[in-house]
Amino acid sequence: MSTAAGSRSVGLVKPQVAHFDEPLLLACGRSLPDYELVYETYGELNPERSNAVLVCHALSGHHHAAGYHTAQDKKPGWWDECIGPGKPIDTDRFFVVSLNNIGGCHGSTGPSSINPATGRPWGPDFPSLRARDWVNSQARLADRLGIGCWAAVIGGSLGGMQAMRWSLEYPERVKHCIVIAAAMKLSAQNLAFNEVARQAIVSDPGFAGGHYLERGTVPAQGLALARMVGHITYLSDGAMASKFGRDLRRGTLEQGDDGNVEFQVQSYLRYQGSQFSGNFDANTYILMTRALDYFDLAREYDNDPVAAFTHARCNFLVVSFSTDWRFSPQRSREIVDALIAADRPVTYAEIEADEGHDAFLLPIPRYLDVFRAYMLRVGADV
Amino acid sequence: MSTAAGSRSVGLVKPQVAHFDEPLLLACGRSLPDYELVYETYGELNPERSNAVLVCHALSGHHHAAGYHTAQDKKPGWWDECIGPGKPIDTDRFFVVSLNNIGGCHGSTGPSSINPATGRPWGPDFPSLRARDWVNSQARLADRLGIGCWAAVIGGSLGGMQAMRWSLEYPERVKHCIVIAAAMKLSAQNLAFNEVARQAIVSDPGFAGGHYLERGTVPAQGLALARMVGHITYLSDGAMASKFGRDLRRGTLEQGDDGNVEFQVQSYLRYQGSQFSGNFDANTYILMTRALDYFDLAREYDNDPVAAFTHARCNFLVVSFSTDWRFSPQRSREIVDALIAADRPVTYAEIEADEGHDAFLLPIPRYLDVFRAYMLRVGADV
């Protein structure tokens, strides 16, 4: 925890756990008998309980979005650039709730949890989830915290999809919906990359059909490969070029060098992969990518996004990044077009940024300015 | 072999084998003691021996570029759209030579061949190769066939890189160089995808450190994954969207469906992967992707492509495809700019095509027209 970061940081934070005894009926038709959600909060809930903001996480995210767990932590939460005193999601104004979704692997009930029916980890038998299941479980957390209506539901990537689903499922409980670097559904290319990632995991012998916890194995190589593939899609071609180019970490490209060459980008990817495989659960990764695949905002509205968004009652901010090729600006413009056609108030910003999809996590000045300005408007509605 | 295809096909063809006793000194500093090249020829060499054209193959290609091996073959050679009577590479005019490169797995000496020093398959001990090694071995094949100067050296993707290397290494032996969907060097993103492919292979337990032939195992899952990743990069986002969209092969996306969903694009990729893993050698795939990684046209010319191309003496045709994101039109324009600055005659065509990198294999009318027109010019120089 650095002093510089600390000066605009929410500081030390402590995760909390909410236990829910009532079964949660899931979109797949099964029920989760009981479950726990781990979450953090930043800032203070006002007496009117009207300044609460929900932050939804992306594929590999979790509840720890801002601040530090210990004074020794080197890195803050994953969205510390955007959450804190004076930051776009200003904790001097808002009460921020950030949770780990069910199915996750950071403390909320998921495939690594014990299935009460068997006394063993759920593993691959954990129910299939959709974004709406997360939204429903988040609504129960809101009930528990006494939050009738969110000042804003906010998310990037898969988090943005949850925010959109909130606007349709609980229109009376959302005043503003902030959708960053997202899409109304995955393209065939998106689906293809997810499939490669899952195949890498399930074909790792350590996966053991998903029963690796009981077997004491770890599908580390498969998870690492999945992360490497994902990571390439999070960065733009240009960002990789300026970050690594063709720089060598080992060997030379001279004639006479017998192939002992390693490029910087190779070792970087391998490092990212191995870090991830030590910290993430394989069944969760499969479950989360499937939820992404299945997400289709307008499917149950006759595949008409305009018809879908007529159910929303909130204001929208949509943000995209110029070099994002996972969910390109075109995908955000589709959201904006549908919102306009549905006569919903929408603000749209396409941010020039070299960093690709990852830009939504980074302190890009115009992005932070747009985000901050919109959040001032959210604050005025509180 | 269909009648329709047969009418403009070179018909039945038979691979030939050339054995070379003299060791080939490789760029890595090692030598290949002796080696074989398997090749095919289409058309007739004219008495002046001036109408010979060399076709260089890409990553997973081989010598069988046109025609059929048996009357029962369902598919012709990989570039049958472009090679044959009346086709762009017109076998009524040209004598076409197409070979499997050393290091390959379709008959030429490669990792699956027996290492004479050990009596066992070379496997992972096969020497590291560069594009220049292929060019040198191809020059020896030209000597064997009595071809002093190629009317044209032609290739797509990695084949185009070999064609460019020919123009610099043997300037007096190439009259025209045709470079399709290629680049002067790989980008960091290109390198990254190759790294994922290799990691998928080497982390497959069946790979056994590359000694799978001796162990009787096959790294089928790793090869399949490598191919799946590659395949995504060969197709454009738009091509995948129009070919598969979000069509389902199994299950539904309705609520109540318990996750037994399969998208068409998933099963397509899995099929492509498993087909490939039954037909391709893992060590060859690693070796070929490394040769791609190491290729850097201008490295030994002070990293100045203009200085490099001043060594060329031939005319150039450069072709790119609008939706190719593996080697985008920008990468071809870099080649063209360097050629112009080096005062080399160059024709450039950027073809509008939805099919991405794979477009270079497909019968896109304007592409075939440009290719045919340029080859008429090549023929006029014979």
> How do residues A370-381 score in pLDDT, each as one tens digit?
999 999 999 999
Q: What is the mean pLDDT of residues B91-114?
A: 98
- What is the model's pLDDT at position A6? 44
Whether the predicted pLDDT of A5 surpasses 90 = no
- What is the model's pLDDT at position A1? 57
pTM higher than 0.90, yes or no? Answer: yes
Whether the predicted pLDDT of B105 surpasses 50 = yes
- What is the model's pLDDT at position A4? 47
Q: How confident is the model at residue A110 (pLDDT cuts 50, 70, 90)?
A: very high
Say whether B324 is catalytic: yes
**Over chain B, what is the mean pLDDT?**
96
Interface test mutation site (partner A, options B126, B229, B295, max chain A beta carbons within 10 A): B229
| Cβ <8 Å between B191 and A263 | yes
Q: Residues 58..117 of A with a Cβ closer than 8 Å to B: which?
A: none
Q: How confident is the model at residue A3 (pLDDT cuts 50, 70, 90)?
A: very low
Q: What is the pLDDT of residues A120-158, one digit of tens each?
A: 999 999 999 999 999 999 999 999 999 999 999 999 999
Q: What is the ipTM of this complex?
A: 0.94
- What is the model's pLDDT at position B298? 97
Work out the minimum CA distance from B27 to partner chain A, whole angstroms: 5
- What is the model's pLDDT at position B1? 57
- The single residue of A157, A236, A320, A328 carrying the catalytic annotation is A157
Whether the predicted pLDDT of B183 surpasses 70 = yes
Whether the predicted pLDDT of A171 surpasses 80 = yes
Whether the predicted pLDDT of B3 surpasses 70 = no
- What is the model's pLDDT at position A205? 96
What's the CA gap between B58 and A191, in Å, rounded? 27
- What is the model's pLDDT at position B4? 46
| Cβ <8 Å between B128 and A203 | no
Q: Which residues of A touch B222 (CB under 8 A)?
A: 203
Q: What is the pLDDT of residues B65-87, one digit of tens each?
A: 999 999 999 999 999 999 999 99
Q: How confident is the model at residue A260 (pLDDT cuts 50, 70, 90)?
A: confident
Q: What is the pLDDT of residues B214-260, one digit of tens each?
A: 999 999 999 999 999 999 999 999 999 999 999 999 998 888 877 67
Q: How confident is the model at residue A94 (pLDDT cuts 50, 70, 90)?
A: very high
What's the CA gap between A360 and A79, in Å, rounded? 9
Say whether B231 is catalytic: no
Instruction: Please indicate if any CB of chain A lies within 8 Å of the CB of B191.
Output: yes
Q: What is the mean pLDDT of residues B193-220?
A: 97
- What is the model's pLDDT at position B259? 67
Range in A3-17, A176-190, A253-267, B318-332 with the lowest mean pLDDT: A3-17
Interface test mutation site (partner A, options B24, B196, B232, max chain A beta carbons within 10 A): B196
The backbone region for B68, taken as left when phi is positive above 0, alpha when psi lies in -120 to 50, beta otherwise, is beta
Residue A36 vs residue A3, higher pLDDT: A36
Helix spans in chain B (H): 3-7, 131-145, 158-169, 188-202, 212-215, 220-234, 237-243, 264-277, 282-294, 305-309, 329-341, 365-380
Percent of chain B with pLDDT over 70: 98
Whether the predicted pLDDT of B175 surpasses 90 = yes
Q: What is the pLDDT of residues B4-57, one digit of tens each?
A: 444 589 999 999 999 999 999 999 999 999 999 999 999 999 999 999 999 999
Q: What is the mean pLDDT of residues A255-282?
A: 91
| Cβ <8 Å between A195 and B27 | no
Whether the predicted pLDDT of A104 surpasses 60 = yes
Q: What is the mean pLDDT of residues A176-191?
A: 98
Backbone angles phi, psi at A180, to 5 degrees: -115, 125
**Over chain A, what is the mean pLDDT?**
96
Instruction: Please indicate if any CB of chain A lies within 8 Å of the CB of B243.
Output: yes
Instruction: Please indicate if any CB of chain B lies within 8 Å of the CB of A302.
Output: no
Q: Which residues of B touch A269 (CB under 8 A)?
A: 192, 195-196
Percent of chain B with pLDDT over 90: 95
Say whether B357 is catalytic: yes
